[in-house]
A and B are shown apart, each in its own frame.
Chain A
């Protein structure tokens, strides 16, 4: 076995507390790319408990904070490989997800992607349409027509199959005749979207991240994440005013009222690094 070099940027430096549990969790994320917070926690508990099968540990059980700590340990380790586990909320549902993303657009991932160069071109076109659209999504039929602007002979059914393939690998999803970017795509492509679509992209003023779909103020037209608005409206005296321009927004509370946010827990996205201190009370598990 090669000896481990002792340089600071050495990607081989694995902390002593990095063990099978972390490797397994990482493998699952590599396999699935996108795992809901609840599923992740369920799997984490299972792996945690299979580590120490004796009685004492079994009754204690891990809590979400243990998982978040494990994630931050993994992130320190995979940083040298330009990979990161991020936590983000789906814009519509708004379930929390763990996402495994590449932090750098490596030529390896591009060349040996599951998609051909032509297919990736098509995706770029779809991405472009979605980012520049009014509501952050495009109709499936419009999507199918996009192939005509591309070189090569893709029939309608080829395009349909390709769309399915993108959905299968969680780059896009289709719902009610519309095609959307998954949160995985939004997070992984964030740098690309910010640079290539600077004039079109919306940034949620509450969390400073890209927003494709959410609540729009009818005065200043600012677009905000529904989950960010939900958090914001928890401050009782602010429930009727736009966080950006303070315009009266009587509809705002109603817009987020019926959405199944996790009740009883801190909705803030846990930081992937150990930068912030989370209180994380209660379990996100349902």
Chain B
């Protein structure tokens, strides 16, 4: 027993394994919504009376998620000390979109997401809401506030759903009066979306070489080298 835990915990190795396994299953089952998972929910629903082992068990669970499933558990610091997590998938795994099968409404959302993430990326990382709005209108995806047949309530997806899922940030421009907002990439997009693939896609649409977009191409290279460094650090 002494060799089991490094924290002097009173859990048997069997109990530990069971809790780790439960947490992993819980996180995986909640992941399909893409909403952040709250620490308090994990404690309430899984750990219950074993709340004090939280830190140790979460470490192990995170390890399992990375080593076995290839997904990274990322902590999101929320306001008022409320910890949240998102499960960020490996960008390499998501390259071929046809591998994983999603319900139709999710697929529509993924298309929409790609479009807006592309716009933000090509525009240097920030896009004002009017620019986004007119972009989508020009594409015929938005028509005022009317619901689109395939995409649904587009503006709500952009400003509420995708924000909640941490794909985009919709933030108020400081000092703006009347308040104006802008879009940026969110945490999840930074982890899961390949900038290279986006640039390739845009280049395809414009019929040119990705390298022509000098700034963006530099960003691609930088993001890739950062990720490579991170992977080596994590001992992958």
Contact = CB atoms under 8 A, between A and B. Distances in A.
Interface of A: 1-7, 9-12, 14, 18, 20, 23-24, 26-28, 30-32, 43, 46, 77-78, 80-82, 106, 108-109, 111-113, 168
Interface of B: 3-4, 6, 13-14, 17, 20-22, 24-26, 28-30, 45-46, 56, 59-60, 62-64, 67-71, 89-90, 92-93, 96, 99-101, 103, 234-235
B101 A12 contact: no
A113 B13 CA distance: 27
Query: Which 10 A/B pairs are nearest by Cβ-Cβ distance?
Result: A23-B70, A2-B59, A31-B100, A112-B29, A108-B25, A14-B67, A81-B21, A24-B93, A108-B22, A108-B26
Nearest to A7: B13
A24 B28 CA distance: 15
A30 B65 CA distance: 13
B69 A3 contact: no
B99 A28 contact: yes
Contacts, number: 93
A111 B101 contact: no
Contacts of B89: 27
Chief secondary structure at chain B's binding surface = helix
Contact of B68 (A5, A28, A32, A78): A78
Contacts of B63: 1-2, 4, 12
Contacts of A26: 68-70
A23 B92 CA distance: 11
Contacts of A10: 17
Nearest to B32: A114
17 contacts: A7-B4, A9-B13, A9-B17, A12-B63, A20-B70, A23-B69, A24-B93, A26-B69, A27-B71, A30-B28, A77-B68, A80-B17, A80-B21, A106-B22, A108-B25, A108-B29, A111-B45
Given A31-B100, A111-B45, 16 more contacts: A1-B235, A7-B13, A11-B21, A12-B60, A12-B67, A14-B68, A18-B67, A18-B68, A24-B93, A24-B99, A81-B64, A106-B21, A108-B25, A108-B29, A108-B46, A112-B29
